[in-house]
Amino acid sequence: MDTVKITVLSGGVGGARFLRGLRHHLRETLPDGDGGTTAEITAVVNTGDDMWLSSLRITPDLDSIMYTLAGANDEVRGWGRIGETERVSAELNAYGVGWPWFTLGDLDLGTHIARSHFLRSGLALSEATARITARWNLGVTLLPVTDDEVETQVVTDDGTMHFQEWWTRRRASVTARRFEQRNVHTARPAPGVLEAISGADAILFAPSNPVVSIGTILGIPGVRATLVGASAPIVGVSPIISGAVVRGMADACLSAIGVQTSAEAVALHYGGRRSGGLLDAWLVDESDADAVAALAPAGITSFAAPLWMRDLETSARLAADALSLARR
């Protein structure tokens, strides 16, 4: 039986929706059958948002993906578990423990306690993630990009702070000057990450934050070089539609690194592979069709398609479009 290996670089919520669509598309088009082709999806996930809070290791992007693929996520709120309560968090606040502005739901805390237990018993984050995701039958292998604690720090005029403090507490209201990945120079990719890239048949960049999701993945030593040398085509999906972020505050991250909030500028930031960059192809929204011709000189084959992931169907269509660009 042939196996098609698809590796996706992913952040949290945008990446989770894309992965759910990709899994759906592949289940529809490649149902397992004798002698048929099966697909294997591996997500290489950002860990820059991770932190220790109240003695627990929190990994927001891994968990957003896990809950979404498990169908256990809160669709309305956009993050966390469905049917969540916050009784434990209220107790922690009463004791003055943790960050009052960062609520940990009770069910979510179960995940963090389990993860912290595994880490304290000596497992690496990638091993702890394998144990935790095994419960849910996700149909996607989740690999943290690194087992090392490489947390994103935001340098602002108001001081340097953890990414979560800037993003969740300050809602990106204080201007970011730059992003730093603490201890990144000594970090190593988690086991399986480089193999997932070099052994892939197709590599996709989810429509995730180009700076603090995909950017942090690319910052782990060895990842970028392995992408550049990979034999598989690399196709990116724009997280920017009509010059605006769809959800979240990615524009505040892009301006900190001097990149315009446009589908075209993000593609040029990743760069065309022909000129030492990363992208063979780039998917933009139909409203950004102008970018298709503009990106041709950079050697980035672009295609305009609907990029809004409104539901499972639209996310699956988007994933199908990304895969067909990879096949070209």
Q: Between 113 and 245, name the residue whose CB sits nearer to ligand GDP.
A: 245
- Rounded distance, CA 38 to CA 29, Å? 10
Exactly one of 6, 11, 196, 322 binds ligand GDP (CB under 6 A); which one? Answer: 11
Q: Which of the stretches 19-27, 145-153, 180-188, 202-210 binds ligand GDP when contact is defined by CB under 6 A?
A: 202-210
How many separate helices (H) and strands (E) can be counted in the chain?
13, 14
Of the residues 230, 307, 320, 323, which one makes contact with ligand GDP according to CB under 6 A = 307
Judged by beta carbon distances under 5 to 8 A according to partner kind, the member of Ca ion, ligand GDP, none in contact with residue 152 is: none
DSSP output for 62-124: HHHHHHHHHT-B-TTTSSSBTT---HHHHHHHHTT-S-TTS---HHHHHHHHHHHHHHHTT--
* 8 Å CB contact between 143 and 223: no
Q: Is 144 in the site for ligand GDP (CB under 6 A)?
A: no
Closest C-alpha to 165, from 38, 244, 196, 156: 156
The closest alpha carbon to 207, from 159, 131, 130, 270, belongs to 270
Q: Are 68 and 59 in contact (CB under 8 A)?
A: no
The single residue among 7, 16, 49, 206 that binds Ca ion, judged by CB under 5 A, is 49
Of 49 and 148, CB closest to ligand GDP: 49
**At closest approach, how far in Å is the CB of 98 from ligand GDP?**
20
End-to-end CA distance of the chain: 23
For residue 15, the minimal CB distance to Ca ion (Å) is: 8
Residues with Cβ within 8 Å of 77's Cβ and at least 6 positions away in sequence, in order, are none
Pick the closest to residue 20 from 55, 60, 58, 69 (CA basis): 69
Interface of this chain with ligand GDP, residues 33 to 62, rule: CB under 6 A: 61
Do you know the residue count of the chain? 328
The only residue of 7, 8, 14, 205 in contact with ligand GDP, by rule CB under 6 A: 14
**Residues in 219-258 at the binding interface with ligand GDP, rule: CB under 6 A:** 237-239, 241, 245-248, 250
Q: Is 209 in the site for ligand GDP (CB under 6 A)?
A: yes
Q: Which of residues 2-31 bind Ca ion (CB under 5 A)?
A: 11-12
For residues 247 and 328, which CB has a smaller minimum distance to ligand GDP in the complex? 247
Q: Does 61 bind Ca ion (CB under 5 A)?
A: yes
Residue 177 binding partner per list Ca ion, ligand GDP, none, with a CB distance cut-off of 5 to 8 Å that depends on partner kind: none
165 contributes a contact to Ca ion by CB under 5 A: no
Q: Which amino acid is at 305?
A: A
Nearer to ligand GDP (CB atom), residue 128 or residue 241: 241
Distance, in Å, from the CA atom of 125 to the CA atom of 13, rounded to the nearest integer, reads 20
Nearer to ligand GDP, 92 or 227 (CB): 227
Residues that bind ligand GDP (CB under 6 A): 10-15, 61, 64, 206-209, 213, 237-239, 241, 245-248, 250, 307-309
Residues that bind Ca ion (CB under 5 A): 11-12, 49, 61
